[in-house]
Chain A
Amino acid sequence: MAVNLTDLSLPQLEGLKAQLDQEVEFLTTSIGQFKVVQTKYVEAKDSLNVLNKNNKGKELLVPLTSSMYVPGTLNDVEHCLVDVGTGYYVEKNVEDSKAFFKRKIDFLTKQIEKIQPALQEKHAMKQAVIEVMNVKIQQLQQSQQSSQMTKA
């Protein structure tokens, strides 16, 4: 940025700060959302561990609604149905599903790593703007005081 912060007026700095505030908030919520989705994928990947040969044929309760369950047996421990987005579901075997979730988790990690430096940069910029604003406000107060003194 070629513009020197100290050259800007207080209202301009105020505007800049508001803009940076907005950007910081946007990036922060983005990272938060990424983390939420990532946890979901991690949980899904972990629960796939239950689908192994040892658990084949075991009884379980299937939730038909959130308040009603029916008994069932675990018949197929090799396959599961994965949501790949925009309404498409794919039947994959357990290994492929794990690979799918790992891919998603890695993708999200990369995205978060991409955003993090940008967020830090914006944060530092905001801090700099606030500092300059404080200095300006102090200067303003001092000049006001001294003009009052001369008046009195």
Chain B
Amino acid sequence: MADAIQKKLKVELEKYTQMQKDVSKSMSARQKLETQLTENNIVKEELDLLDSSNIVYKLIGPVLVKQELDEAKATVAKRLEYINGEIQRYETLLKDMEKKSEQHREVLSSLQQEFQKAQGLAIGKV
């Protein structure tokens, strides 16, 4: 009896650690997005300060390519939109994972209690 529960406990524990790993992975991805968001916001601010007398270049590989200011602005705006969407996506994903790990923790603790009880019984029998 105790052995079976222990096996189950081990499996569940492995699942749980895997879940924690996924959570931290998503966390760091979200953090990276946050950094990109700030970076792009700074670029947007700079581009907004420019007028048509300024020439904008885009670095593509090692080459600087001339680009229209409006085009650059549109690109950055689109990027910001994308990043914000991604952050939202990760936010819901993380919330979902949080809920799941909460449930999992409960399963784990009840299993642990069961295991302890079974162990106590086994010792009592001997």
A residues engaging B (CB < 8 A)? 81, 84-92, 96, 100
A86 touches B40 (CB 8 A): yes
Which residues on the B side are within 8 Å of A86 (C-beta)?
39-40, 43, 76, 79
Determine the residue in chain B with the shortest Cβ distance to A92: B54
CB nearest to B42 among chain A residues: A85
Q: Is the CB of A90 within 8 A of B50?
A: yes
Task: Evaluate contact between A85 and B43: CB separation under 8 angstroms.
Answer: yes
Residues of A within 8 A of B11 (CB): none
Q: A84 contacts B57, CB within 8 Å? A: no
Bound-state Cα–Cα, A67 to B58, Å? 27
Sorting the interface of chain B by its residue count into under 10, 10 to 19, 20 to 34 or 35 or more gives 10 to 19
- Pair B76/A90 contact, Cβ less than 8 Å: no
Which residues on B are within 8 Å of A, measured CB to CB? Answer: 39-40, 42-43, 46-47, 50, 54-60, 64, 72, 76, 79
Give chain B nearest CB distance to A40 CB in angstroms: 15
> DSSP class of A's interface residues: helix, strand, loop or mixed?
strand
Closest to B53 in A: A93
Contact partner of B46 (CB less than 8 A), chosen from A81, A85, A87, A91, is A85
* Cβ–Cβ contact A85 & B54, under 8 A: no
A88 to B54, CA, bound (A): 12
Q: Which 4 A-B pairs have the closest CB atoms?
A: A87-B59, A84-B46, A91-B55, A89-B57
Q: In the bound complex, what is the Cα–Cα distance between A14 and B73 (angstroms)? A: 50
List the A side residues contacting B50 at CB < 8 Å.
90
- Is B40 a contact of A88 with CB atoms below 8 Å? no
> Which of A81, A84, A100 touches B43 (beta carbons < 8 Å)?
A84
Contacts of B46 in A (CB 8 A): 84-85, 88, 90, 100
- In the assembled complex, which residues on chain B have CB atoms less than 8 Å from the CB atom of A81? 57, 64
Q: Are B42 and A88 in contact (CB under 8 A)?
A: no
Enumerate chain A residues within 8 angstroms of B56, measured Cβ to Cβ: 88-91
A100 to B54, CA, bound (A): 13
Please measure, in the bound complex, the distance between the C-alpha atom of A84 and the C-alpha atom of B50, giving whole angstroms: 11
Complexed CA–CA distance, A100 and B48 (Å): 13
Which of A85, A90, A96, A100 has a CB less than 8 Å from the CB of B57? A90
The complex places the Cα of A135 from the Cα of B55 at a distance, in Å, of: 65
Smallest distance from the beta carbon of B71 to chain A beta carbons, Å?
11
Contact yes or no, B39 A88, CB < 8 A: no
Which residues of chain A have C-beta atoms less than 8 A from B39's C-beta? 85-86
A-B contact pairs, 12 of them (CB 8 A): A85-B42, A86-B43, A87-B58, A87-B60, A88-B43, A88-B59, A88-B76, A89-B59, A90-B46, A90-B47, A91-B57, A92-B54
